[in-house]
Copies of this chain bind each other. A is one copy, B any other.
């Protein structure tokens, strides 16, 4: 189907906005009650829904709880099962490290090793991010012939390392044994292609150990999730789009870049996103706007705060509509009900408004209202192609 879509794609001047409230799908606080979205006062979203085609979408599939990366891949029109994104890549793109094809990234945890070399604390007492940054600076001293080594802090004791050089591969097993009281595992190739990277990793770990020897409590490193960039065909290549991402969090800029989007830097909040939109409007035709805090508040278990975040997006919506996009999709990448304090598999409400839609009379943008919308419950991977076709970006199939 991907090849067919690519063959059908055609350039058009029409502009599509994809507005994502991360983790917007929710659950009632008590049985029979309303979800966060149903509770929120959303006059602008409701007015838009009344002109729209609505439904619920499953980002990956029935019963599958999406991580953020696969949830977004689905919204960008990809099958997340076809393009698994490794932990190392998520970490690297998350801190906006510009990975290139052939680079190998891995998650790095600073850990505490006892005098015998066994792991006494896998998280080095959860050192603060600032300390993590200082340790990453120290690791700049690592030198491996023919390999460029980059280490970047992520959060707390977590960092990411990227190896760049010839003949590298992600076919290397974790060195993190995931338990304490034992030594870190030796890096082992899981395939002959991984031999060189295993050797590089061994060298890296040994040098890191020496550099960190006098540090307390973080005197060692554990590595997991070795990953290369997935070979994802870009949105330009597939659909001739000129896509741009307006996201605050690095993770989402990273995922957007993986599919070929330009990602605007230094956007602090919705206000900054609203101001940036006109500056990129003429030069692009696909606008991914991402709001993180609906998910964050859901993860915190804070129903009321999640409601407020949805209301903030509702207040922001007119500034997007003021640009007069030809078509706008409003949805989430997965559900993060406050009562669950986690991502869940529940289908996510969506609306498609603008060019060529059959409005279905949905009066309120919410889970139960959208379930009765025109589309019912469909795969999240279909939203983009519906938008493309409604805006003349997919030609007729067959004579």
Interface residues of A (CB under 8 A from B): 1, 4-5, 8, 27-28, 31-32, 35, 51, 56, 60-71, 80-81, 84-87, 90, 225, 337, 340, 342-346, 356, 358-361, 367-368, 371-372, 374-379, 382, 384-390, 394-399
Contacts and interface: CB of A to CB of B under 8 A. Distances in A.
6 contacts: A35-B358, A60-B397, A61-B385, A62-B385, A360-B368, A375-B377
Contacts of A84: 398
A81 B388 CA distance: 19
A342 B356 CA distance: 12
A376 B51 CA distance: 20
A130 to B, nearest CB: 24
B377 A378 contact: yes
* Interface residues of A, dominant DSSP: loop
A63 B399 contact: no
B65 A395 contact: yes
Chain B CB count within 10 A is highest, among A64, A65, A368, for: A64
Given A4-B81, A386-B62, A359 B394 contact: no
B4 A32 contact: no
Contacts of A376: 371, 376-377
Contacts of A63: 5, 382, 384-389, 394
- Across the A-B interface, give the 9 residue pairs with the lowest CB-CB distance, nearest first: A63-B385, A67-B398, A62-B382, A70-B398, A345-B389, A63-B389, A90-B399, A376-B376, A65-B396
A260 B61 CA distance: 25
A361 B38 CA distance: 15
A356 B344 CA distance: 9
A1 B32 contact: no
A356 B346 contact: yes
Contacts of A225: 399
Tell me which of A371, A378, A388 has the highest count of chain B C-beta atoms within 10 A of its own C-beta: A371
B358 A399 contact: no
Given A51-B31, A360-B371, A394 B346 contact: no
A396 B343 contact: yes
A81 B69 CA distance: 30
Contacts of A62: 378-379, 382, 385-386
A389 B398 CA distance: 29
Contact of A85 (B340, B359, B390, B399): B399
A129 to B, nearest CB: 19
A394 B345 CA distance: 9
A70 B385 contact: no
Nearest to A65: B396
Nearest to A73: B398
A399 B372 CA distance: 31
A68 B27 CA distance: 35
Given A27-B356, A27-B358, A62-B386, 16 more contacts: A62-B382, A63-B384, A63-B387, A64-B385, A64-B394, A65-B394, A66-B396, A68-B398, A69-B398, A80-B398, A342-B396, A344-B389, A344-B390, A371-B374, A371-B376, A376-B376
Contacts of A384: 63
Nearest to A68: B399
A80 to B, nearest CB: 6
A85 B398 CA distance: 7
Contacts of A5: 63
A344 B68 CA distance: 32
